[in-house]
Structure 1
Amino acid sequence: MNVSIGTIWEAVCRALPDAVAITEPGRETTYRKFDERASRLAAALEAAGVGEGDTVACYLYNGAAYLETVFAAFKLGAVPVNANYRYTGEELSELLTDADAAVLVFSGALADRVTHAAKHVRTLKLLVRVGEPPADGPGGPAVPELEELLTAHAPREPRRRPGTDQLFMYTGGTTGKPKGVIWQLSDLLHAHVVPFYHPLGVTELPASLDEAVAVAVEARHEGRAPTTMPVVPLMHATGLFNTMGALMTGGRAVTTRAGGLGPEHVWHMIAEQQVDTAIVAGNAVCRPLVDELLRAEKAGTPHDLRSLRRMISSGTALSDPLKKALHERADVTITEAIASSEGGPFAFAITSSAEDLPSRFHPVPATRVIGPDDRFLEPGSEETGVLAYCGPMPLGYYKDTEKSAKAYRTIEGVRYAIPGDLARLEADGAIRFLGRGSGVINTGGEKVHPQEVENVLLGHPEVTDCAVVGVPDETWGERVAAVVAVQPGSTVTGHELRDLVRRSLAGYKVPRSIVLTDRLPRTPTGKLETAWARKTAQEAGSGDGT
């Protein structure tokens, strides 16, 4: 099936016109309305000179407007681009310049940060504001509002688009220059057959557009189509891709109110809208959700989790204690994926009850662990290698052939996506994930993988988050240090946490210093601000911040 995801959406919209596609607080959008609004926006973009291959940036909070913008771009053969809504004006301009953005669609609440881009990004042909800017702040540039544009343009007629159309997923977080990963839509579709179609009992990608529509219609009519809530921002690949999959299979996307994570609101929306699939990003999202469950129970007003059947997590670790708390309160299957914007999924850890814990990652058939000499590592070898994936994958990084050549390599005639995630193969074939290679700590010649130490620390019931980093040491080159977030009122000490690590890992992996804090700064997608963690650990010296 070599068609654009937008073409599949159009066909599903025609087949299920009156079914609700998107639910926001106080508003529902049917598939007919979803298609009409996206078609009107596509016409507005086209009138501004936007066409095939032009990039359309989404600087938006979660909501229907985000998905409508992506859909409109797909209709034109234009390229949707994610923009982190935490970016300052200059950071946004840097991303837009790198992406050669022709269009910027932005939330009104972020209007003041768009002024810099409006003045400095020369490729922009059109800026569109969604909603009003804050009444008590700068109004941002004078540009058309989304509803005005939709009213002024008739819907553009649908035109079948090929699977070679593209989507850019920018990655890089807060520690380096963002890089745009180029996904062809046909490759993206093939790479996500498991999360999109397997829950419906469909094991292979539909062979034709008609077959894909038939799957969606049958799933919706039989009540099997997913009702999916991206708790994680849609600018996160996990959030966007899985929500796209729900709309391809006749499902419904449910979004929460714009802005930061509101755990009580999330659980209320899950119960009210009968959400069966929640998309999260590891501990950064799940810890506040579990804390809210415990608070509500203590107050005698527990949340209703009866509709929740699936939880999908990627981007950062989801610890077993949190999985246990969720399994004890809901009949939910938790799928934790090792994946990246650059490719994958490499492996899944799937648990259906607390009895399945501790969770373990098992590789998908297209995954290998490759040693430094490009040798495929064998299970039980105890060697550390990098995860490599030879399934459908991106074309590379936008305008960066050097980085593309490093991340996408051909070994024995097969192309692999190798973003740099370190792992070992256990004797039974399971994967022990060790984190991104760039974070390895070299202490006296011994290599310490932060993820391995973090996994142990996160096993403590009073630890809510942590970061293990290397800090300069005159004797050892680097020493292992940790910044650990603990629950309010916790009495755990750095000495106790070091003893916990020492019981599980070699002595050189035990943090020489531990700083205790109430929280770690993370982006909405769960990415840690590593520079802050390293600075905090270094300023604490060699003792415990307890």
Structure 2
Amino acid sequence: MADVLSSPPDLDRANYAAIWDAVARAVPDRVAVRAQGVTLTYADLEEHAARLAATFVAHGLGVDSRVAIFMYNRVEYLITLYAAYKLGAIPVNINFRYHGAELAELLEMSRPSALVHPSSLGAAVRDAAQRVELPGLVLVVPDQPHDEPHDEAPGQTRPDGASDEDAPGRGDASTDAMLFARALDAEPLPAQDRGPEHKIFMFTGGTTGRPKAVVWTHGNLFDSQLFSIYGSLPVAQPTSLADVTRIAARDDLPRTVCLPLPPMMHATALFNVMNAMVLGGTVVFLPAARFDPAAAARAIQEHGVTRLIVAGNAIVGPLVDVLDSPEAAGIDISSLGTVLSSGMVWSDDLKRRLLEHAPHATLIDIIGSSEGGPFAYGVVRGPDDLPCRLRLAPGAVVLTPDLTPVTEVGGTGMLAYSGAMPLGYHDDPARTAETYPVIDGVRHVMPGDWVRVLGDGYVELLGRGSGVVNTGGEKVFPGEVEKVLLALPGVVDAVVLGLPDPRWGEVVTAVVVPAPGTQIAPEQVQDEVGRRLAGYKKPRRLYVLDELTRSPSGKLDMHRLRRRLTEVEQPALVDAAGAPDGGQGR
């Protein structure tokens, strides 16, 4: 697979470690990150990353080694990411909501040489260690008590409070486990010459049910982010590393203070944090793992946050509910200049309510994916821009299944994009060829999002063509949940699908058929799925039917079933309180 590097030709050092090193030299005393009561300047952050990189080298890591990050948003996540980039190593994002079996599968797929995780996720790591050999180096970040995760909602993990004796790898002589702080005792690794060809893995769910790694290069990713980084600033796009550094060091430009509310294991939060550091901005993390909308509102005011990263209604809903409450009287979030969401339902009503509290903010609703993009933007600069309309991004087109452009107003097709994009999927040439077709000699990315053409460059999003359920920013593969349901005593048939939800986009919905005379307890269904799979995969709506009408080949008419469920049937269980939290929610 050939590298596709399209950064400006003079920007030959489009590598995030090289850029951040240069920024740290230019503004060493500027605050880079505030989190968990810790404040690190750019000089501090660079030194921590250099020390961790030296520890990685001491344990045999180097270019293309993989570093698995099984962690929610916190300072150590950023240090680990930076250290991996310094080596030319490949960071591997792992969903911190995974149970042991799911973690083991991803470790087996990615084959990392190091794993970094908080002590509160120790139980999942120990479970995974019974299924797959852990990496040779495991670093443990001790948690504070309020960081320990819970499993009260989809998208949240189980209780895994850990103690010092819970360190992973116990009994496995091949695994060298140590506390993260000890890894920072090494002498700092001198800066290395790193270029745009080094890789970044972004694991994402998919229609196969198995996570797959989208492979970006530093150069491709940086080029794809140029508009996001510099589009709102009164500067020309840089053409050299010196230009990048000069812009970051300028004191006359608005200072970026970025608060990501979704977890950095997702591309939207990760890439925007990286962008903020390119600008020499400050990254703020909430003080606890669980998404707390009241804490988010206070953090925006306390730190003067200018760029807020959200996940559509799943985060904006709770945030504006808090801001509208009497308890939030006096909280001022007017510092917000940009609020950005990608790939999630974000209703006009919530956009309007947010603008009442942040009247100077520009709301940017992006249709994008880990595979590439952006495909379309919805930009709201004030109430007069509502209802929000999606407009195709430069380089985006709408294509029919036979890869010809859709030109007629009212026509439907799939979004495609021909700008900077990843190399493809790791070790999956067939899927890469399918998702990244070459059309008239030009490479495109087509993840499968269907839209209706409205004219003048505007489109209406219809949804992903596959059966994957996108709930609160998490992707759920129906077959994985169906397998658990069909293993329940008395269940003779089952199907899982996503039904529309105004807040979460979709909620995981299960339809089960019991054997004659058998009673299905809704709580049993949720408990069993929650015991086997991550919490966000538990059904939030359950329908018990006498039968599922299938064709002779065993297929269901999903359109007819959806219509029946939404128009006729009443679910046996509607667990609104347990809906996905859409943020880092533990």
TM-score of the pair, normalised by structure 2:
0.77
Q: Percent identity?
A: 36
Query: 1:523–1:103: structure 2 CA closer, same or farther, 3 Å change rule?
Result: farther
Secondary structure of 1:199's counterpart equals: coil
1:353 aligns with 2:379: no
Q: How many angstroms does 1:200 deviate by? A: 1.8
Q: How many angstroms does 1:513 deviate by? A: 4.3
Task: Give the Cα separation in 1 of the matches to 2:407 and 2:337.
Answer: 35
Which stretches of structure 1, 4 residues or longer, exceed 4 Å deviation after superposition? 135-138, 463-476, 479-482, 507-517, 523-527
* Letter matched to residue 59 of structure 2: A
- Whether the 8 Å CA contact 1:56–1:81 is kept in 2: the answer is yes
Task: Give the Cα separation in 1 of the matches to 2:165 and 2:320.
Answer: 37
Q: How many angstroms does 1:269 deviate by? A: 0.8
Q: 1:148 aligns with which of 182, 191, 205?
A: 182
1:293 aligns with 2:299: no
Unaligned runs of 5+ in 1: 442-449, 483-506, 528-546
Task: Quote the residue 1:385 is aligned against.
Answer: 413
* Letter matched to residue 406 of structure 2: L
Q: Which has the higher contact order (CA 8 A, sep 6+)?
A: 2
Q: 1:32 aligns with which of 38, 43, 55?
A: 43
Query: 1:520–1:468: structure 2 CA closer, same or farther, 3 Å change rule?
Result: same
- Whether the 8 Å CA contact 2:123–2:162 is kept in 1: the answer is no
**For each residue in 1:155-189, what CA deviation from the matched residue of structure 2 results, as whole angstroms up to 9, or x when unmatched?**
00001201010100000079811111000110000
Q: How many angstroms does 1:193 deviate by? A: 1.0
Task: Give the Cα separation in 1 of the matches to 2:425 and 2:458.
Answer: 30
Query: 1:131–1:408: structure 2 CA closer, same or farther, 3 Å change rule?
Result: same
After TM superposition, the structure 1 = structure 2 runs for residues 188-267 of structure 1, keeping only pairs within 5 Å, are 188-204=221-237, 206-218=238-250, 221-267=251-297
Q: How many angstroms does 1:122 deviate by? A: 3.9
Q: 1:139 aligns with which of 140, 143, 166?
A: 166
Query: 1:512–1:383: structure 2 CA closer, same or farther, 3 Å change rule?
Result: farther
Task: Quote the residue 2:580 is aligned against.
Answer: 522
1:371 aligns with 2:400: yes
Task: Quote the residue 2:12 is aligned against.
Answer: 2
* Letter matched to residue 94 of structure 1: E
Task: Quote the residue 1:16 is aligned against.
Answer: 27
* Letter matched to residue 384 of structure 2: E
Q: How many angstroms does 1:468 deviate by? A: 9.1
Query: 1:136–1:56: structure 2 CA closer, same or farther, 3 Å change rule?
Result: closer
**For each residue in 1:302-357, what CA deviation from the matched residue of structure 2 results, as whole angstroms up to 9, or x when unmatched?**
42112111100013111111101001221211101000000001111010111111
Secondary structure of 1:439's counterpart equals: coil
Task: Quote the residue 2:76 is aligned against.
Answer: 65
Q: How many angstroms does 1:139 deviate by? A: 1.4
Task: Give the Cα separation in 2 of the matches to 1:301 and 1:337.
Answer: 31
- Whether the 8 Å CA contact 1:24–1:256 is kept in 2: the answer is yes
Task: Give the Cα separation in 2 of the matches to 1:116 and 1:135.
Answer: 13
Task: Give the Cα separation in 2 of the matches to 1:379 and 1:138.
Answer: 65
Task: Give the Cα separation in 2 of the matches to 1:439 and 1:520.
Answer: 22
Q: 1:312 aligns with which of 340, 345, 364?
A: 340
Task: Quote the residue 1:534 is aligned against.
Answer: none
CA RMSD of aligned residues (A): 2.7
Query: 1:390–1:279: structure 2 CA closer, same or farther, 3 Å change rule?
Result: same
* Letter matched to residue 363 of structure 1: L
Residues matched between the structures, number: 481
Task: Quote the residue 1:477 is aligned against.
Answer: 557
After TM superposition, the structure 1 = structure 2 runs for residues 50-89 of structure 1, keeping only pairs within 5 Å, are 50-89=61-100
After TM superposition, the structure 1 = structure 2 runs for residues 151-162 of structure 1, keeping only pairs within 5 Å, are 151=185, 153-162=186-195
Q: 1:423 aligns with which of 442, 447, 451?
A: 451
- Whether the 8 Å CA contact 1:61–1:258 is kept in 2: the answer is no
Task: Give the Cα separation in 1 of the matches to 2:317 and 2:349.
Answer: 10
Task: Quote the residue 2:493 is aligned against.
Answer: none
Secondary structure of 2:444's counterpart equals: strand
1:163 aligns with 2:196: yes
- Whether the 8 Å CA contact 1:468–1:480 is kept in 2: the answer is no
- Whether the 8 Å CA contact 1:335–1:348 is kept in 2: the answer is yes
Task: Give the Cα separation in 1 of the matches to 2:408 and 2:455.
Answer: 5
**For each residue in 1:102-123, what CA deviation from the matched residue of structure 2 results, as whole angstroms up to 9, or x when unmatched?**
1111112111211134454447
1:335 aligns with 2:364: yes
Q: How many angstroms does 1:301 deviate by? A: 2.1
Query: 1:128–1:470: structure 2 CA closer, same or farther, 3 Å change rule?
Result: closer
Q: How many angstroms does 1:469 deviate by? A: 7.4
* Letter matched to residue 12 of structure 2: N
Query: 1:137–1:6: structure 2 CA closer, same or farther, 3 Å change rule?
Result: closer
Task: Give the Cα separation in 2 of the matches to 1:510 and 1:428.
Answer: 34
Unaligned runs of 5+ in 2: 1-10, 145-160, 171-176, 470-496, 512-547
Secondary structure of 2:184's counterpart equals: helix
Q: How many angstroms does 1:279 deviate by? A: 0.4
